[in-house]
Structure 1
């Protein structure tokens, strides 16, 4: 037999062997260890690991600041210091405080709410790429990692919201029954953050330069979200499509929703509810589906 014929014969034999192995695996219900499970099965796996997700998030929260003197106080001090710098620039130098009611509370609320989204998205973007050794050593649903990072930021937010409420009261705002809706607003934002975190986790896993680009993207998002100014006032005279895009911005919607409850003592308008719910549902479904589609590729190569 010539060499080409021998190669063809070997290839055919190899193909028959693979077919027989596949048939044998199917007969006994075996499947590849890294195969992507169905969506319902994937959700069940995540639910079974819910205790691990919470424990992992808590340990990350504690370890992140274990080497600093003030420890976990930095979780609250960092956004407060940022707010102080922004108040000096926008409130004093650019005189925004003259045209906006209770500008200190207005600014602190915007900074706290945006920081929650910013930190969750940043954590999600590195959740896969920074845990490759864990992913390659153990078999578990990879969505566990961005979920843990999102819950970690939710735990931090609890302390931030307590400080925010004290500061708002300190600026003279009264307690209102509308404050009972604050957990609802945070649930909307958390669901959106979770979806955005899952989306960015897949992007960060395969596009390594995203860690360099993300700070610029988030900074642009910060300035476009009405953290320092009233969007409806600053966008007068702009094209209607641009005004609509700025107001429909998810970060701006969650910030305005929280300001309505904390500062303006008014029930959020229908458009605010629709916008917040839309972004939460869209991000959660789209982000989870997008992440799940690449489940078997994480940690390979």
Structure 2
């Protein structure tokens, strides 16, 4: 048996038991895990994502402290995913606050390319992700079924857009309010979709459902905001947003469209558990 450190981090919150929990497993380069072991650990943790990181530009006993570049992978309890914001935030938090990493900027090699996380101000970590601009979809019977599963019925006023890379389906009722989003009780179908509404206390509020990857509802989804930011840019005429994901756990994000190709998603995190796992 080999022993690995493991952490549970609540991301996009500054208080335990809020935001979105992610497990983080540092994997030394000389102690790699097999694909089966990665999946088994993620299933055992049974959180929306478990992150596995390995240093790539440092080695030896101090690699996690000295490295600035890492291989990073994310697994749900059932599958590997292309991008996960809250588990990236959790990973950077572990490196900076639990493993004493000396860098001011971390670079992660992922299925979505290179992601950069920097130390921000007031406890925030700033993550730079590729933008994923959603486009209107043709309304067919399948789309109407998804819309009805969210709002109880299909209405012609409801906007539906799909992001090309992450395949988030954004469903927006211009007549819905913040309280409407909070009160949604979808009849979950095997689709992934994000319901969103203009807010009063925040620029916009959202909820995210992804049963097709084993997550009935994701509490706070950093990756969804690479889609929601350009969606709301065209409606609010701005590039910087204060956002809330209105799940039961609630999460707070600061989002900034920094270029035509990238979005900065910022948040705080807290550690709620640390220990070891034997594999």
Give me the TM-score of the superposition, normalised by structure 1. Answer: 0.25
| More strand by percentage | 2
> Which has the greater radius of gyration?
1
Give me the TM-score of the superposition, normalised by structure 2. Answer: 0.27
